Amino acid sequence: MALRTPIYLDHHATTPIDPGVLSFLQEVQRDHFGNPASSGHAFGWAAARLVEEAREKVAGLIGGTAREIIFTSGATESDNLGLLGAARIYGGDGGHMVTTNLEHEAVRGPLEEFERRGGRVTVVQALPEGRVAAGDIAAAMEKDTILVSVMMAQNEIGTIQPVAEIGRICKQRGVLFHTDAAQAVGRIPVDVQRVGVDLLSLSSHKIYGPKGVGALYVRRRDPRVTLAPLHFGGGQERGLRPGTLNVPGIAAFGEACRLAGEVMADEAPRLRALRDRMWDTLKGSLDGVHLNGTIEERLPGNLNVSFEGIRAHQLLSALTVIAVSSSSACSSLETRPSAILTAIGVGDDLAAASLRIGLGRFTSGEEVDFASARIVAAVSGLRTPGQSSS
């Protein structure tokens, strides 16, 4: 069978919906259109049952209980609810929080709002390997620290943070621990009990489910975490997320979690082998190739690579048959280096010359070899005056 292009290698941005999840979604959309809040008839009962079954599936993937799962529109809303909801209860919008310079905008934004409301935030700097030191998190805590937020896996460079160690420190200090685990859940084992996390954000579309749905894990025991709602107008989701529930999306999200739990043990080593194969090809075929972040503590399908002597937007233009992304943000005709790469000490030139490659469930070895060859050819062409590659 001929290789189909374009090839999708941007699974950290989003994932295609799994065929089994899509089939389940369509069935629910067609046959179970009731409102789960309609408690007086069978259509409402069926919808409510699907929501509770999904809650069990999501909880099962992360080691929580169904009553600890609050459904949201995605990890961004979950981050906002967890951080700002905790700030109102535990600090009266004041107090102190600790985070890192590796966080996604979905965490940085709420923390900036927390500061505007009178709170204080300490940002811990990451090490050059792309990970934070748990000791640095501990050193940043103050007497009035109410919460620490450290992402479980970095969305650009794929580095996995020492969250279990950070969780132990938070528990010892009586400080809440939040983690944005959108990139980690479904890719690596996640256990909220082992990590000691109190609040965890996750998203459906990162694990082969539909867009527009996610969840926030809220610990109920040791300690029982209380949050203030950000929205008002209904009693859904224990009053923390009012509004009619997205039953098809929630049900499909649950099914995506169930499926991830089944396939992850086999999927992760396969993706790790393909990733290492691609990295070996790139560094063996090109000079001036740099891996950003440690290779050891890293998501199995992630590569973030910088190429000396080029700009990422030029390389992306030369790779029209491969869907990858750049770590640099483009504004007009100028490029701004990735804040994450500069945060770990990568120079501006290399930070503006990086590709984020994300392999996924349906990525084949043939696709990896094809993409590797195209990247090598494109980089070589861009480095050679008067030549171009596609």
Q: C-alpha angle with apex 240: 236 to 245, nearest 5 degrees?
A: 35
CA dihedral 276→281→282→288, nearest 10 degrees, is 110
Cα 175 to Cα 172, 219, 325, distances in angstroms: 8, 13, 36
Q: Percent of the chain at pLDDT above 70? A: 96
Residue 387 has pLDDT above 60, yes or no: no
Which residues have C-beta within 8 Å of that of residue 17, sequence separation ≥ 6? 25, 208, 209, 210, 252, 256
The tens digit of pLDDT for each residue in 155-200 reads: 999 999 999 999 999 999 999 999 999 999 999 999 999 999 999 9
pLDDT in tens, 83-136: 999 999 999 989 999 999 999 999 999 999 999 999 999 999 999 999 999 999
Note the pLDDT tens digit of each residue in 26-76: 999 999 999 999 999 999 999 999 999 999 999 999 999 999 999 999 999
Rounded Cα distance between 50 and 30, Å, is 13
The secondary structure of residue 356, as a DSSP letter, is E
pLDDT at 327: 64
Q: Residue 330 catalytic?
A: yes
Of the pLDDT bands very low, low, confident and very high (cuts 50, 70, 90), residue 2 is confident
Per-residue confidence (pLDDT) for residue 93, from 0 to 100: 83
Q: Residue 23 CB: number of other CB atoms within 10 A?
A: 13
Local structure of 215: helix, strand or coil? strand
Q: Average of pLDDT values for 292-313?
A: 96
- Residue 11 φ/ψ, nearest 5 degrees: -75, -5
pLDDT at 328: 41
- Where does residue 89 rank: exposed (0-12), middle (13-18), buried (19+ CB within 10 A)? middle
C-beta neighbour count of 118 within 10 angstroms? 12
Q: Which of 13, 123, 230, 330 is catalytic?
A: 330
Torsion angle of the four alpha carbons 245, 80, 154, 125, in this order, in degrees rounded to the nearest 10:
-170
Can you give the pLDDT at residue 331? 34
Omega cis (within 30) before 337:
no
Mean pLDDT across the chain, nearest whole number? 95
Reply yes or no on whether the pLDDT at 333 is more than 50.
no
> Which domains does the chain carry?
7-14+265-383 (3.90.1150.10), 19-259 (3.40.640.10)
Confidence of residue 21 (pLDDT cuts 50, 70, 90): very high
Distance CA 367, CA 3 (A): 7
Structure tokens belonging to residue 168: 């132990």
DSSP 223: S
Task: Report the pLDDT value the prediction gives residue 386, as an integer from 0 to 100.
Answer: 57
CB atoms within 10 A of CB 80: 19
**pLDDT reported for residue 332:** 32
Q: Report which residue type is found at 82.
A: G
Q: pLDDT band at 354, cuts 50/70/90?
A: very high
